[in-house]
């Protein structure tokens, strides 16, 4: 049976390796992901969104700097720019109010943008209430 000292050294080395692997994965992540989105109907044809974004690599040098609401065909209805990193708040939720969406649209996509690589990552599909 290994000594306690050896056991704790092995445990510490395993934890350090796991931490480094997670950090490397976060740095390797190219785009932020939209992990949730809630929508509420506002005034006629306008909608309010609460969007949750995950970008574990967020630093002042590189971060999730926007999200947008689009049609499935790619038409942009609204965008919120984010002016700073959210390193201490992951994932984070921000709102976008008063997005005008044409009457024939029943479903929209929400996508986040990386300050270095642009739009990409996991999108979130949302059905518009009342449509």
pLDDT tens, residue by residue, 29-40: 789 999 999 999
Could you tell me the pTM of the whole model? 0.77
pLDDT range class, residue 6, cuts 50, 70, 90: low
24 lies in the same domain as 64: no
Of 13-17, 36-40, 76-80, the poorest mean pLDDT is in: 13-17
H-helix or E-strand spanning residue 70: strand 64-70
- Of the pLDDT bands very low, low, confident and very high (cuts 50, 70, 90), residue 87 is confident
Q: Which domain holds residue 36?
A: 31-127
Tell me: do 66 and 81 sit in the same domain: yes
What is the pLDDT at residue 29?
A: 79
Both 21 and 81 in a single domain? no
Quote the number of domains for the chain: 2
> Is 37 in the same domain as 23?
no
Read off the pLDDT of each residue in 55-64 and give the average, rounded to a whole number: 88
Spatial contact of 85 and 44, defined as CB atoms under 8 Å apart = no
Residues 64 and 121 in one domain: yes
Is the same domain home to 83 and 118? Answer: yes
Residue 16 CA to its chain's centroid (Å) = 27
Strand order in the sheet with 46-54: 33-41, 46-54, 92-100
Q: Do 67 and 106 share a domain, yes or no?
A: yes
């Amino acid at each position: 049976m290994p000594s306690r000292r050896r056991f704790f050294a092995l445990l510490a080395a395993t934890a350090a390796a796991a931490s480094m692997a997670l950090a490397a994965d976060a740095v390797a992540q190219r785009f932020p992901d939209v992990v949730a989105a809630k929508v509420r109907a506002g005034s006629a044809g306008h909608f309010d969104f609460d969007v949750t974004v995950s970008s574990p690599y967020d630093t002042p040098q590189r971060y999730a700097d926007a999200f947008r609401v689009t049609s499935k065909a790619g038409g942009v209805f609204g965008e919120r720019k984010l002016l700073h990193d959210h390193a201490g708040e992951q994932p984070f939720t921000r709102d976008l109010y008063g997005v005008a969406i044409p009457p024939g649209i029943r479903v929209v996509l929400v996508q986040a943008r990386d300050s270095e690589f642009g739009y990409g990552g996991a999108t979130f599909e949302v059905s518009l209430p009342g449509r």
